[in-house]
Homo-oligomer: A and B are copies of this chain.
Amino acid sequence: MNPVERENDEAARAAGSRLVQDFGLLIKAATRLEQRIDMALRKECEVSHTMFEVLIRLCRRPDEEISQRRLADDLTLTSSGITRLIDRMEGAALVRRGPAPGDRRSVLVEATDHGRAVFLRAAAVHARVVERYFVAPVAGADYARLTRALGEIDKALRDT
């Protein structure tokens, strides 16, 4: 076997490895799942999945003050990404910007009444899709382990 044949062989082995397959599965499943949710939300509620994630945080505790910085960190977006996202959401009257008492650099974001109403409808759609493609396919006993494993992964990623 000449050098390039050996390299091809090595490459084929690497490409077929267990780890590569498994990891690909995680990414693919998550991507497809998100596309599914996104399509459903856009079609039925005229919000993107990203906007929905913002609304979750704004509706969870209506009294809590949430800055753009906080949202950016939560959604793993850059600050400029958040600026533009909130621009669009403000344009759609889902959300309102306001000054942060005690720090004039910061901008606070809160849901409008309309935003909360949309969120409520969107949450129903979300629940339906998640139930069908995330909860149902996983056997009951495995569900708890799955979320625990994901929590561990997330923790490892945050810690470093």
CB pair B153 A59 closer than 8 Å: no
| Contact flag A117-B7 (CB < 8 Å), given A59-B14, A76-B32, A145-B146 | yes
How long is the Cα–Cα vector from A138 to B133 in the complex, in angstroms?
22
Interface residues contributed by chain A, number (CB under 8 Å):
70
> 5 interchain pairs (CB within 8 A)?
A10-B120, A12-B62, A15-B119, A28-B154, A30-B31
Number of chain copies forming the complex = 2
CB pair A25 B154 closer than 8 Å: yes
Q: From A16-24, A85-93, A101-109, give the one contacting chain B.
A: A16-24
| Contact flag A116-B33 (CB < 8 Å), given A153-B133, A153-B137 | no
Residues in B whose Cβ lies below 8 Å from that of A127: 14, 17, 19-20
Interface assignment of A51: CB less than 8 Å from any CB of chain B:
no
